[in-house]
Every structure is written in C-alpha cells, then in structure tokens.
Structure 1
Amino acid sequence: MVIELKNLEKVYKGENSPAVHAVNNVTLHIPSNQIFGIIGKSGAGKSTLVRLISLLEKPDSGEIWYDGSRVDNLDSKQLIARRRRLGMIFQNFNLFSSRTAEQNIAYPLEISGTPKAEIKKRTAELLELVGLSDRANSPISKLSGGQKQRIAIARALANNPDILFCDEATSALDPQTTHQILNLIREIQQRMNLTVVMITHQMEVVRDVCSQVAVIHEGRVVEQGSVEDIFIRPKTAVTKDFLLRISDSQEEENGFVRWSRDGGQYELHFIGDKTDSTTLSQLAKKFNLDFNVRAGGIQSIQGKKVGKMLVDFIGESSEIEKAIDYLRKNGVEVEKNGSNT
C-alpha cells in the first residue's frame, strides 16, 4: 500500500494561546511493503502527522492518497470502513483491563460483526503469531509490558490491515524488550507484506527496523531518505542531533567503543566490504601525516556492515587534504566538524 501525502496542513487554534502550525506543507511518499520511519522531537508534529495519515483527523488542506485513491475526503460510512483496514499500535498499549488477552484481540472483530467461530479461530492464530498462545485467558494486569505490547500488536492485526501504524510503540519498554518487539514487527511486516509507518523519537529504532525515514521538525519534513544515507550522510542539524543522542552504552552494545573523550575531529564511515579494508594502513604509507584513533566500531544498518571511526589527523593541511581526497576516492565517507568533506 503506497501512501502519498500532498501539501498537508494542520493548525490548532487556541482561544487564549497562539495558533500551533502542527503540520506545515508536508509532502511525502511512503513506499509499499516497507517499514517507514517518521522521527521527530517532542512537539515536532509527528503525532499529529500520523493522526492525519491514519484518518483519525482531517487536514485543514492538502490530500492523502492510498494506492492512487484519495482518502481524506471520504464520507462517514466510507471512512469507518477504511479505518477498519488500518492497524494502530500505541505507546501505552490501550488495552481493556476488564478483558483477557484473547478478548482484547477479539474486540475489533466483534465491532465489525465477525461471527463468533471465526473470531475464536482468528484470535488463536494471532496469539500464536505473537508467541502468547498460553496467555489467552490471562488478565491484562498479569502481563508484562512486552506481553501487553504483543497483545496490542495482535489486536491491531485482527482485521487484516494493509497499513500498520506504530506510534512510539517501544518507548515504554526496556532495551531488551524493545529489541524483541522490533524483531516481531519486522517478521510480521515481511510475512503479511504490510506497509508499516513507525513514529518515534528514538534514532536507534529507526536504525534497527526502518528502511527509509523522514525527519520532522516544527511541522515540516526537513530531511528524508534511506536509513543508510541518513546515518552516514545527515544533512541537517536536527538529524545530526538525533544521531548524537544514541547513548554511549547503546553504541558500545552495537560494537562502537570510545577510548578517548578528547579529539576526534574527523568521522570516517566504512561501508560494506570497506570495513575489512586496509585503507588507513595504506594512508599512513602514502602521506606524510600521523593519525590518532579516538573511537571506532562496526554496526549493522539494514543488514549492511557500517564501520565508524573518530580520528585526528596530524600534519600539514595540504597533506591532510590529500589524505581526505584519497579516502573519498577509496569509498570512505569523511565528515569534519559536522559538515561533509
């Protein structure tokens, strides 16, 4: 399911406060059968944007298209029918505490008039899909955070949606559970050929599960592209700030180790087979300069190895320039003081 957003606008007008331009002229292409990330800080407009895309609110102007059909102008009956083919996962799970796990999954099927026998079969399938077949009759209060989110995922899939929206779906979970839930969403996306829209403020979530990403700031899309490009060649200060927010402990867990807090004037990125190359060794032989490695490591982005290294080059500026040119010609990305070199 391809999603097209064309010049979306949404303004909230307060009686005693200034108007908030939550979504400001957003045009976006979300490809079919991928996990697409929308990342932004608190107040950036990403939650409002997802409410518009998922038809929970109408835009003040602009258009929303699903697979070539406009959907923001549907009448009430058509809108209800279209919403039933959308799945939503939320940060706080939004489960009914008065219902068991199985009954929570059954709820959207009940309100759509599905026969009881079919509901029983479908809930059993979904419980197995999320790995909780033995928890069908468990009260929600007896489930862990990760189990609650698995039930929420199963409920979101009950009506066989063609689009799945995840609004900060892992923000309330610990790192290990987050990793498990992201793996589950990725497996479900591949199995069901879903278009998944992942809304988050966590850059590590984008790195681990998304194929493409849009960065939202003050209601606008300030940058978009493949996850690999965004991580290796960020263009805006907003995106670079997100990358800096990945904590040292998370970086170390993903193979990045910093053994010096000083220096690191240049950031080098080695992509794919370049992570196994002897480029730096050759660099030292070819040019009259020294280099000091401050940090380094290799992580996986979309299944591709990406090495990152922080270094200082010591020598004449002309030699450093030649060395940087050599690195670039040999497929190594070089960044200095926040600007691409």
Structure 2
Amino acid sequence: MEIKIENLYRTYLQNETKVEACKGISLKIPSNKIYGIIGKSGAGKSTLVRLISLLEKCDSGEVYFDDKRVDNLSKKDLIDQHRRMGMIFQNFNLLSSRTAAKNIAYPMEICGVPKAKINERVKELLDLVGLSDRADAPISTLSGGQKQRIAIARALANKPDVLFCDEATSALDPQTTRSILELIRNIQKKMNLTVVMITHQMEVVRDACDEVAVLNNGEVVEIGKVSDVFANPKSEVTKDFLNHLSSNASEKNNGEGIVRWSKAGGEYTLHFVGDKTGSPVISSVCKKFDIELNIRAGGIETLSDNQKVGTMIIDIDGEASEVEKALDYIKSQGVNVEITGGSR
C-alpha cells in the first residue's frame, strides 16, 4: 500500500504554549518498502506517525492510502481502516493478564474471527516470529526481545496492509535490536508489507530501511534512498546523526563500523559508495600530488540492501593549489567530499 501525505499541520497547546509539531509535511511512502522517519526528540516524528496511522486528526492537510483519501473517513470506515493497519511500540503494550498466544489472538477476537481460524493464525504467527514453544508463557516470563516478537505477531494478526513501528527497538539492547530488525525485514518480504519505522536511531535506518525522511522541528529537512543519504548527507541534522553513528565503532560486531583513532582534526569527510569502497583512491592521490594526508577515521558500513558505504575522515596538508587539485581528483573518482572543518 502506497501512502501519500500532503501538507500536514498539527499544533498543540502545551502549558499554554503553542507547539507546532508538524509544519506542512508532505511525503510519499512507497508500497512494499521499509520507510524510515528519523528525528531527534521533539522533531515531530511520533506526532507524524499518529497522523499517518489515523490515530489523530490533523489540523489541515490530507492523507491518502493507494490514492484513497482516509483522513476524513466516517467513524465506521475509520474502524475498518484501522483493522488493516498493524502497530508496534517501544513499550510493547501487551496484556499482562494474557499468555503470549492469547495476546496474539486478542485483535482477532475483537473482529469476531471464528475460534478455529484464530488458533490456526496464532500458531502460524508464533512460528513466524520464532516463538512456537512459548504460546502458553505468561508475558512476565518473556524477555524484552520475546515481548517485541509477540507484539509484532499481534500487529500482524489481521493481515494488515501496513505496519507502523514507533521506536520499536529503543528499549532493546543492540544484539536484540539487530534480530528484531532482521525479523521485520523478513516479514516485510514474505508479506509484501509497507513498513513505516519511526526512530531516533540511525542504526535502525541503516540496517532496515530502503528510504528515509529526516525531520527537524516539525519539518522534513532531507529525504531519499538510504544509500544516497549516507553517501551524501545534505542537512546538518543528518550529518549529526551520521557523526553519532560513526562514533559507535564496530557496533555491528562483524568487523564493520567507523573507527576513529584521533579526535583532533578531520577537515574533510569522504564518502565511498559501492565498488568505490575498494578503490585505491587515497594511495593514488598521494602519488599524484604534493600533499600529506592524515587519516583520522575510517570504515565501511553495509546497508539493508547490502550496498556498502565507506567513510573516511582526513586532513590534507600542502600548498592550497595542490590541496585543491587533490580534492578535485578525489571527486573525479566518484567519491563525495564534505568539508567538515575540524573535529566531528
């Protein structure tokens, strides 16, 4: 299901202060993809997902699902539409009085699905999330990762067209986060779902998303394919997210990640994409020009589509003309050059 939002506005009163949570946001979320919406605290991302998922009404603007306007539905039609959407949250929102299986069954019970079909669907979903042996487990006995798996299964119970994930991995440790993101990727491919992931973690965008929108202060400041945003970030907010990501050296525990061994300097940041990550560009530039090059940080990260993006933070010393020639040469090799002007 394709989602299109046009010129969404939402304003709150907080302690008698006007807060503009969404300021004319427009996005197109493609069908059968994992779409990331990232922003820092207060950027407006949680408000935006509530508007897109029709949990709140916008002050103005329009929301379309597959070219059908849905922000102005009647109460009955809105209930029907909600049943075609799944949602998972940071705090799981599971019913502690029910077992794992009965939590998954709950949305189907509300919809009046026959008991035999409920039991069949619950078994299918428990297998899908890898918890077929935990059907009768009380929620209190499950780990955080297991709880989120049950929450995912529950969100999929009524076979939704779209799955919304609001900070779904924020409460989990890095290893569990990776396993949950892998599960969501596998489910998305199997079920041809549109998945919208709200997050403040660039690791989530890197490991799961196909495209991303970056929010700041209620506005979209950058949008594009994840590989393009990683290789050539435009906004200062995006660069700051990537800087933070770079500081988590080898976070994926597979030898990848950006490692910084010097906090000083770092005037230029180079971004290598795809086969450029294996090209001897740095060796060549040092041979061709009268410069000295100091590498402050470097590494390679693999995105969810297996695209590789390399990052290198460097200083270049030499006559201004030689430095300029060296930078022009690096750019001519298909490497994006960003002037960072010092410590990242």
TM-score for both structures, normalised by structure 2 = 0.95
Matched residue, 1:79: 78
Matched residue, 2:271: 269
Which amino acid in 2 is paired with 1:113?
G
CA gap 1:147/1:282 in 2 versus in 1, 3 angstroms: same
2:311 pairs with 1:308 = yes
Checking the alignment, whether the CA contact within 8 Å between 2:249 and 2:260 is kept in structure 1 is no
How far is 1:97 from its partner?
0.2
Please identify, of 217-226 and 187-196, the stretch whose mean Cα deviation from structure 2 is larger: 217-226
Alignment of 1:143-158 (within 5 A): 143-158=142-157
CA distance in 1, matches of 2:206, 2:93: 26
Matched residue, 2:284: 282
CA gap 1:250/1:282 in 2 versus in 1, 3 angstroms: closer
CA distance in 1, matches of 2:103, 2:330: 56
2:339 pairs with 1:336 = yes
Which amino acid in 2 is paired with 1:266?
Y
Which amino acid in 2 is paired with 1:12?
Y
Q: Secondary structure at the match of 1:184?
A: helix
Which amino acid in 2 is paired with 1:166?
C
Q: Secondary structure at the match of 1:7?
A: strand
Which amino acid in 2 is paired with 1:327?
I
How far is 1:223 from its partner?
1.1
CA distance in 2, matches of 1:230, 1:190: 23
CA distance in 1, matches of 2:341, 2:5: 31
Matched residue, 1:9: 9
CA distance in 2, matches of 1:300, 1:71: 37
Checking the alignment, whether the CA contact within 8 Å between 2:231 and 2:272 is kept in structure 1 is no
Please identify, of 279-288 and 2-11, the stretch whose mean Cα deviation from structure 2 is larger: 279-288
Residues 50-97 of structure 1: CA deviation (Å, up to 9, x unaligned): 001001111111100000100011100000000000000000000000
How far is 1:153 from its partner?
0.1
Q: Secondary structure at the match of 1:131?
A: coil
How far is 1:256 from its partner?
2.2
State the superposition RMSD in angstroms.
1.4
Please identify, of 301-310 and 90-99, the stretch whose mean Cα deviation from structure 2 is larger: 301-310
How far is 1:13 from its partner?
2.9
Matched residue, 1:186: 185
Which amino acid in 2 is paired with 1:257?
V
How many residues are paired up? 338
Please identify, of 256-265 and 196-205, the stretch whose mean Cα deviation from structure 2 is larger: 256-265
Residues 205-251 of structure 1: CA deviation (Å, up to 9, x unaligned): 11111011111111111111111121121111111111122263344
Checking the alignment, whether the CA contact within 8 Å between 2:10 and 2:59 is kept in structure 1 is yes
CA gap 1:304/1:143 in 2 versus in 1, 3 angstroms: same
Q: Secondary structure at the match of 2:228?
A: helix
Q: Secondary structure at the match of 2:263?
A: coil
CA distance in 1, matches of 2:238, 2:260: 21
Residues 117-172 of structure 1: CA deviation (Å, up to 9, x unaligned): 00000000000000000000000000000000000000000000000000000000
Q: Secondary structure at the match of 2:17?
A: coil
Alignment of 1:39-188 (within 5 A): 39-188=38-187
Which amino acid in 2 is paired with 1:293?
I
Q: Secondary structure at the match of 2:64?
A: strand
Checking the alignment, whether the CA contact within 8 Å between 2:211 and 2:224 is kept in structure 1 is yes
Alignment of 1:241-280 (within 5 A): 241-246=240-245, 248-251=247-250, 253=253, 254-280=256-282
Q: Secondary structure at the match of 1:249?
A: coil
Matched residue, 1:320: 323
CA distance in 1, matches of 2:53, 2:257: 37
How far is 1:338 from its partner?
6.3
Q: Secondary structure at the match of 1:19?
A: strand
TM-score for both structures, normalised by structure 1 = 0.96
Matched residue, 1:214: 213
Checking the alignment, whether the CA contact within 8 Å between 2:21 and 2:44 is kept in structure 1 is yes
Q: Secondary structure at the match of 1:13?
A: strand
Alignment of 1:231-250 (within 5 A): 231-246=230-245, 248-250=247-249
Which amino acid in 1 is paired with 2:306?
G
Matched residue, 2:300: 298
Query: Any gaps of 5 or more consecutive residues in structure 1?
Result: none
| Percent of aligned positions that are identical | 64
Residues 276-307 of structure 1: CA deviation (Å, up to 9, x unaligned): 11221111121111111122111112311211
Which amino acid in 2 is paired with 1:116?
K
Query: Any gaps of 5 or more consecutive residues in structure 2?
Result: none
Which amino acid in 1 is paired with 2:11?
V
CA gap 1:8/1:249 in 2 versus in 1, 3 angstroms: closer
Checking the alignment, whether the CA contact within 8 Å between 2:248 and 2:257 is kept in structure 1 is no
How far is 1:255 from its partner?
3.3
